[in-house]
Each structure stands twice: as C-alpha cells, then as structure tokens.
Amino acid sequence: MMEIRFHGRGGQGAVTSAELVALAAISEGNYAQAFPSFGPERRGAPVLSFVRIDSSKIRARYEIREPDVVVVLDPSLVEVAQVTAGIKPNGIVVVNTKKSISEFKQRYGINIRTAVVDATGIARDLLGVPITNTTMIGALVRATGAIALESLIEPLTHRFGRLAPKNIEACKRAYSETIVENA
C-alpha cells in the first residue's frame, strides 16, 4: 500500500489534490481513499490530507502517520510544521520550492529523498493564481509513479470543467519540470 500525506494551507487545494489522486488510482483499477484533517476551517490555516492506494481493499480508516510520500504545497510549512515527521526511511518528500534539492535539504536539515518543483511559478504562469494543487499532483506523479499522468485527465476535467485544460497543462508542466533526487 502506498500512503501519501499532503501538507498545504486552506484554499490551496490539498484536499482536492488527495481526492483527484484517489479518483485516478481507482480509474486504474486500484482501491484508494482520500480524506482531510484540519481544525477550524479558514483560508490560510495548515491543512493535511491523505491518500491510500492499494491493489487490495483498504480497511485502514485512520490518519497516516508513517507516509511513503509527503507532498508540500506551501514551502512556508517546512518552517512551521514537521512535514517529514514519520516518513518511512525509503520515503520521498515532494516540495514546492524554487530551491535546488541540495539547497532545500541543507537549509532545512532534510535527510529524506527529495523532489522539487517551482509549482507556484507554474501555477501563476498558467493559471494566473498561486494555487498549486494540480501542479503538485504532476510533481507527485513524476516523483513516485503512483498513478499514470493520463489517469488524471478525466478527474481534472470533471472537477475543473472549463478550467480543466489549463489545470491539465499545469499538471503536465510540473511533471516535466520536477527534479527528483536519485534513490
């Protein structure tokens, strides 16, 4: 089973990201679940969301404390939250940052395999807003292969309607621009 934890802020799309990844996994014939965890709902407050993907039925119904993958939508969360807490030794953290992998790891003392992408820059360029959910899904796919990029087309189209083409483009561009540290 692959377990993914998203770290974001209210309004950035962490909950939507988890749902879209789960829908894509299900479309591939897997079992998946997505669920959020947050306190008082307000824009800008830290938000966690979770995804489990497996080829067998998933019976677990609790918060993911030892993820295989951590996706950080807002780079400021690295300074205020323990985003890598509990990550499995062979896990990976996928971060929205302009920093290189070595700069990021050195700055924050990260010793986990890392992937980086300037998701905010891509979102601003293609969507006109700094909402990084679809860009970070592209980065997640590049870093992990958890789902196929093509499996996201239908969920993104259904979720975003007339805005889907730009979100699909953002997802694909992030996929191509994500830099993944070798294992």
- Whether 48 shows a pLDDT value over 70: the answer reads yes
4 with 68: CB under 8 angstroms? yes
CA angle 73, 78, 81 (to 5 degrees): 105
**Looking at per-residue confidence, does 37 or 136 come out higher?**
136
Tokens of 69: 């993958």
- Whether 98 shows a pLDDT value over 90: the answer reads yes
What is the pTM (predicted TM-score) of this model? 0.94
What would the mean pLDDT of 95-124 be, rounded to a whole number? 96
User: What mean pLDDT value characterizes the chain?
Assistant: 94
Residue 130 CB-half CA count within 13 A: 12
What would the mean pLDDT of 165-178 be, rounded to a whole number? 98
pLDDT tens digits, residue range 56-71? Answer: 999 998 899 999 999 9
- Whether 52 shows a pLDDT value over 90: the answer reads yes
Give the whole-angstrom CA distance, residue 81 versus residue 100: 20
Amino acid symbol at 162: R
pLDDT tens digits, residue range 107-118? Answer: 999 999 999 999
Q: What was the pLDDT predicted at 46? A: 86
CATH number of 2-180: 3.40.920.10
Q: What was the pLDDT predicted at 176? A: 98
For the chain, the C-alpha Rg in angstroms (whole number) is: 15
